[in-house]
Homo-oligomer: A and B are copies of this chain.
Amino acid sequence: MPTPAEDCARNILDTIPLVMREIRAQMRSHRGLDLSVPQFRALAFIRREPESSLSQVAQHVGTALPSMSKLVDGLVERGLVERRPSVADRRRVALSLTPGGTSLLEAARRETQTYLEGILSRLSQEERATVKKAMAILACLFTKEEGT
């Protein structure tokens, strides 16, 4: 019989990529407001933390700095993000959403939320509670892991 941790690890390895794939496909499927998951996460972070630097966004989204630089290039080209040099420290960059970026992000979030809620509505209240609790546990575990 497998140990509990072994068992749990295998379940994670089987399930997380599956769910991730659905989320990605769903986000990509909207004409005009299609976003990749990292793009979505970057926009959401910038809205929550206006004037954030590139490093902060990269840290939060979990990419290397050059990756985020290029990702932001694309968002700026699409007119969703404004990138200005910071006044306090001119090495830095100050990122913020344009009005178009804000409304696109909100529309995308609405779509994705609706999609997920549709799926989750098939669960019992208890099952949803279990999923929510598990997400909180994992988020804690894997966020704290960053420095290691």
Residues of A within 8 A of B (CB): 3-23, 37-38, 41, 62, 112-113, 116-117, 119-123, 125, 127-139, 141-143, 145
Contacts and interface: CB of A to CB of B under 8 A. Distances in A.
Contacts of A119: 141-142, 145
What secondary structure prevails in chain A residues at the interface with B? helix
Given A10-B113, A15-B142, A19-B142, 18 more contacts: A4-B129, A5-B121, A5-B128, A8-B120, A11-B135, A12-B131, A13-B23, A15-B135, A15-B136, A17-B38, A18-B138, A18-B139, A19-B138, A119-B145, A123-B141, A130-B133, A130-B134, A133-B134
A144 to B, nearest CB: 9
